[in-house]
Amino acid sequence: MPRPSDREVQARVDVMSGDLLDLLAETVREPSESGWEDRVSGRYADWFARRGWPVTRQPVGPTGLAAAEPRPDARENLIAWYPRRRGLPCVVLNGHLDVVPAGDEQLWAHPPYSGLRLDGHVHGRGSVDMKGGIAAGLYALAVLEDLGVDLPFDVAVQLVVAEETTGVGTRAAALEVPGPVAALVLEPTDGAIVPISTGLLFFTVDVTGVAAHTSAPWRGVDAFEHLIRIREALAEFARKRSASYRHPLFADVPTAIPFAVGTARAGSWRAAVPDFATMSGRIGLKPGEDLAAVRREVEQVLAEVAATDGWLRDHPPVVRWDHEGLPGWETPLDSPLIKALQSAQETCTGTATRKGFTAGSDAAFFGSRGIPTAIFGPGEVTKAHAPDECVAERDVVEATKVLALALTRLEVSDG
């Protein structure tokens, strides 16, 4: 059967767009918060079954990788093969089933799991991050199948658990799909092609002090005051690191390797000098940077602060690494994967847009292992993890067209 034209592929996406957006709305209605991905996995499994694609339902508990996760034996990855597993070089389409909690529902204009289609948008938690991307990936493949496209490689669709927490889902999926020749991660990118992402380390710093009544604070040791000094030293360390790394695909952001403290807590009573203080945050990593080396540098910063203070010398701050970390990675722009995406996007929109990514994602698993990797998906990433999360329907349809055409253009080698 002759390969369909670009126009035919795009037209077929338009024909299927109603089903595409219905699937997205239906899956948003399933509150698949991390730990409860099984609320939505069955709906995707049914979709694969209707297409007749082989699917493996992989429990993550027996892999031994999910000991730190709740309900490991009740949670499963879905790994489906388009249209079947033929033993050819494998391209992975990766998306995560879990969403972050909705938070205070009073802050939402519409119920967070409504899946409401209104004013050209699909509304609800997970619509952007990342059920919109999953729907686009699935229907890109469905369109190609309906048009009789015989891709010269296998495609494994990985729908995984726990991306928002530990990333064990993608690591477990690799046991079923080792050594892909390319990976497309369907995170929201505002429709831009992402060939580079910085990484991150999550940390917690604890400081101890001595409690005292606030009418005589000099009788105590203020742990919060010491924590503030440590925070300032880490921020200065991060500023110097930021100044040392520049890349044209991060030209639109102040730094490609951001540092931030997300939570801080001190003391237990307003009329007492705090005898304990703690903060947790993240520090960015350059592509290819050694995670252990950065950990040592952070620990050295804490040691230098402690060396200047009598209390901290005897009661040094303690740093804990709350996650194994996500490495930074970069795929060359002349990679067949990036070229295929650029060509497809130029056909669909008239131009190709590329940018860097500063958020953590499962793409780090692939990119840091030298697998050609790109992130591409519909939706404004700034709407993720926020009240009133929603994705424009036209963006989901357009992303589907780009993905379908990119797969028809992609050339892979098993060498």
Domain that residue 234 falls in: 199-321
| Sign of the CA dihedral running 358, 363, 367, 368 | positive
| Sheet of 121-123, strand order | 117-118, 121-123, 390-392
**Position 415 pLDDT exceeds 70:** no
**What is each CA distance from 76 to 42, 312, 358, in whole angstroms?**
10, 46, 28
**Do 339 and 204 contact (CB within 8 A), yes or no?**
no
DSSP secondary structure letters along 255-290: -SS-EEEEEEEE-S-TTB--SEEEEEEEEEE-BT--
Same domain, 217 and 134: no
Q: How many helices, marked H, and strands, marked E, lie in the chain?
A: 10, 16
Residue 242 has pLDDT above 90, yes or no: yes
Q: At what angle do helices 132-146 and 393-409 cross, to 10 degrees?
A: 50
Same domain as 156, residue 43: yes
Peptide bond between residue 16 and the one before it cis (omega within 30 degrees of 0): no
Are residues 206 and 149 part of one domain? Answer: no
Contacts of 67 (CB under 8 A, 6+ apart): none
Domain assignment of residue 21, yes or no: yes
Q: What is the pLDDT of residue 3?
A: 85
- Per DSSP bridges, beta strands 329-330 and 193-197 are antiparallel
Same domain, yes or no: 48 and 162: yes
Q: What is the model's pLDDT at position 277?
A: 98
Please state, for a pLDDT cut of 90, what percent of the chain lies above it: 96
Position 323 scores a pLDDT of 85
Q: Is the confidence at residue 265, as pLDDT, over 90?
A: yes
Q: What CATH number is given to the structural domain containing 401?
A: 3.40.630.10
What confidence score (pLDDT) does residue 142 get? 98
**pLDDT score recorded for residue 380:** 93
Q: What residue type is assigned to position 40 of the chain?
A: V
Whether residue 161 is found in the same domain as residue 125: yes
How many domains, in total, are found in the chain?
2
Strand pairing class (318-321; 199-208): antiparallel
Q: Per residue in 45-80, pLDDT tens?
A: 999 999 999 999 999 999 999 988 999 999 999 999
The β-bridge relationship of strands 354-357 and 390-392 is unpaired
79-102 residue pLDDT tens: 999 989 999 999 999 999 999 999
- Which pLDDT does position 219 carry in this prediction? 97
Distance CA 91, CA 277 (A): 47
CA dihedral over 356, 357, 361, 365, signed as positive or negative: positive
Q: Is the distance from CB of 317 to CB of 226 less than 8 angstroms?
A: yes
Domain C-terminal end among 321, 339, 368: 321
pLDDT tens digits along 93-132: 999 999 999 999 999 999 999 999 999 999 999 999 999 9
pLDDT band of residue 319 (cuts 50, 70, 90) is very high
Residue 413: its pLDDT value, please?
81
Q: What is the mean pLDDT of the chain?
A: 96
pLDDT at res. 176: 96
SS3 (DSSP) at 253: coil
Give yes or no: residues 173 and 314 share one domain.
no
Phi, psi dihedrals of residue 90, rounded to the nearest 5°: -110, 130
**Does some domain include residue 1?**
no
Determine, yes or no, domain membership for 415. no
The residue behind tokens 């500023």 is 239
Assigned domain for 310 exists: yes
Percent of the chain with pLDDT over 70: 99
Q: Which residues pair with 154 in a beta bridge?
A: 90
Shared domain check, 203 and 187: no
Nearest to 265 by CA among 276, 249, 257, 281: 276
Gyration radius (Cα) of the chain, Å = 23
Six-digit token string for 333: 């722009």
pLDDT exceeds 90 at position 346: yes
| pLDDT value of position 2 | 72
CATH code for the domain in which residue 214 is found: 3.30.70.360
Domain final position from 294, 321, 348: 321
CA-to-CA separations, 199 to 43, 145, 341, 368, 390, in angstroms, rounded: 32, 36, 23, 10, 26
In a domain, 214, yes or no: yes
Instruction: Classify residue 152: in a domain, yes or no.
Output: yes
The stretch 371-385 carries a mean pLDDT of 96
The pLDDT, as a whole number, for residue 409 is 97
188, 213: one domain: no
Tokens of 140: 């890109």
Phi-psi map region of 190: left, alpha, beta (phi>0 left; psi -120 to 50 alpha): left
Same domain, 337 and 313: no
Q: Which of 305, 321, 337 is the last residue of a domain?
A: 321
**For 321-349, what is the mean pLDDT?**
96
- CA 333 – CA 66 distance, rounded (Å): 35
With respect to residue 414, please indicate whether it lies within any of the assigned structural domains.
no
Is residue 388's pLDDT more than 60? Answer: yes
Three-class SS of 206-229: EEECECCECCCHHHCECHHHHHHH
Q: What mean pLDDT is predicted for residues 355-365? A: 95
Average pLDDT over residues 331-344: 98
Separation of alpha carbons 369 and 233, rounded Å: 33
Same domain as 300, residue 212: yes
Total Cβ atoms within 10 A of residue 106: 6
User: Does 1 score more than 90 pLDDT?
Assistant: no
